[in-house]
Amino acid sequence: MTPAHRARLDRAEALLAGAGVDRVAYLVVPDYHRGHAIGDDRAFRDWCARPRPFSVEWVLHGYYHLDDRHAASGGREWLARRLMTAGEGEFLTLDADRQRERLRRGRQAVEAATGATPRAFVAPAWLFNGTLVPTLSDEGFHYTEDHWHIVDVARGVAHACPAITWATRTFVRRIGSRVVCPAALRWLRREPAIRIAIHPFDMDHPRTADQIRRVLARALRDRTPAGYDDLGQN
């Protein structure tokens, strides 16, 4: 979530409201691609404060959502960043000190923009290294995620909660997502908890947006929206 995607966010909110979702986690990027700082955008702060028909948990989502310019990486990290995201695996190669600095600044920025202190952090593309979870715990965060789990960082417990998410960066990914995502909802029907993750760029593709609407409607027939704390009680 960033001021850069304001029009897409409005369309996503209309989709969520129309689907009858009553709880949403919004992932906020403090300075998207080093050019859209939320602290400099009064209109975005007003947008965050506007009333909504659903409750929002504000989550810190990286800081720049962009690979670190100076971080070294091996072949495995380089491959993950190129296959899973277009150079946006920001936290995959950061050491603990750089992580801590961005977490602190990011939390302050999100709190200033939304009035809420984020309790959860999600790394861009769910890519991170082994130093992140202990660093999050040290900094007082409660939760993080990867593609398959919600992690209670204070207790060191990972709760199974796989994500259904669309990819729209290329034509092949768009078509593949529209095949896989509805099937994933069926495959995961026995899972006690799942996530449905929407990206702003999904709203640029009407067929993808329409499918998201239908998948949400099917999921809500059998499931109740929940937050991080509810999952921890299961």
What's residue 27's pLDDT? 97
Spell out the domain ranges in the chain.
21-161, 163-222
Higher-pLDDT residue of 138 and 172 is 138
Pairwise pLDDT comparison (72 vs 101), residue with the higher score: 101
Beta strand ranges found along 81-188 (DSSP E) = 143-145, 149-152, 157-160, 163-165
pLDDT band at 165 (very low <50, low <70, confident <90, very high): very high
Helix (H, G, I), strand (E, B) or coil at 48: helix
Cα 86 to Cα 5, 18, 170, distances in angstroms: 17, 31, 11
